[in-house]
Amino acid sequence: MNETETISENKVPSSLTQVGITMKYTFLDYFRSRRFFILLIITLIVSAILTVLVGYYRPQSFLGDPTFDATTRELTFYSSWWGRSVPFVIILGGIFFGGDAISGEFQNKTGYFGVPNPIRRSSIYIGKWLSAFIAATIIFAIFAAITIGNGLYYFDANIPIQFGQSLLYAWFYLAAVMGFTFFFSSLFKSSSMSILVTAILFLFVFSLIELLVSTLVNVEPWFILTYGAGIIGNILNPQGFPDHVQHSLVRPGARLTITSYNAYVPEGLVIIGVYFIITAILGLILFERKEFT
């Protein structure tokens, strides 16, 4: 560099601009990463298997009873294809892109590159969150596009309004899942630990608690995120939105009944929204306070 040059005073951009800068470059990193490619391949394989199986066997569980009306059959298709699968696509997106987003800054030492600059930690956190959300949204959108493509093939351009609603709820759920995974990622300094704990929580613990609380104690599991996310599939139920409380016999003729709950749509949205807000704030506070020791 020119030795005679004077020291320049660069104008540090606003925190909002810095959020955008962080988002742009971390998204680029996500987009080129092996994990993005792996999740894309998983999504394409699952979609391909569904496409081939439904196309070859034409099961009624997917295409509906031919004697039923068109709307019921369409809802059956979207409920089976989208309603059952998309929560897993979302959870995988959260784990893949959010699981170690913050813990990796400590364990991989990438934080030492970005943090000692004139930038608030909150700008880094929000920028990273947005980039992870966008990366997961791309996978989510690809799965939605394949679902719609198959729906158009079987039912022409008759996409039920409920699918649009379910799509929006699912996208909102993705935001909450990403908030939650970022929160857990902020809790740990080990990337593998944060990914593992998040995966176990979403894939086993939440479902188990939901089942135990509702069946054994007859308490509505309103405090579980996956319970609120039930609206994604329930809105597509061909028989209409299920009752809030359902009792069913353990087996035909038995005395013992099982109670299950279904969140109302507003209730589900509130649960998802509260999870998103609380985990986002807690994760941010944790990252602000965490030390690079």
Residues that bind other proteins (CB under 8 A): 1, 3, 5-13, 15, 18, 21-22, 24-26, 28-33, 108-121, 289, 291-293
Structure tokens given for 29: 């990193």
Structure tokens given for 227: 């319970």
| Residue whose CB is less far from other proteins, 106 or 227 | 106
| Residue whose CB is less far from other proteins, 80 or 131 | 131
| Residue whose CB is less far from other proteins, 13 or 273 | 13
CA triplet 166, 171, 82: central angle to 5 degrees?
A: 45
| Residue whose CB is less far from other proteins, 33 or 85 | 33
Residue type present at position 96: F
Within the chain, where are the H helices?
Answer: 15-32, 34-57, 60-63, 70-78, 84-98, 103-107, 111-114, 121-155, 161-187, 191-200, 206-216, 225-228, 231-234, 265-289
| Residue whose CB is less far from other proteins, 17 or 60 | 17
Would the CA dihedral through 211, 217, 218, 221 be positive or negative?
Answer: negative
Burial (CB < 10 A; 0-12, 13-18, 19+), residue 39, is buried
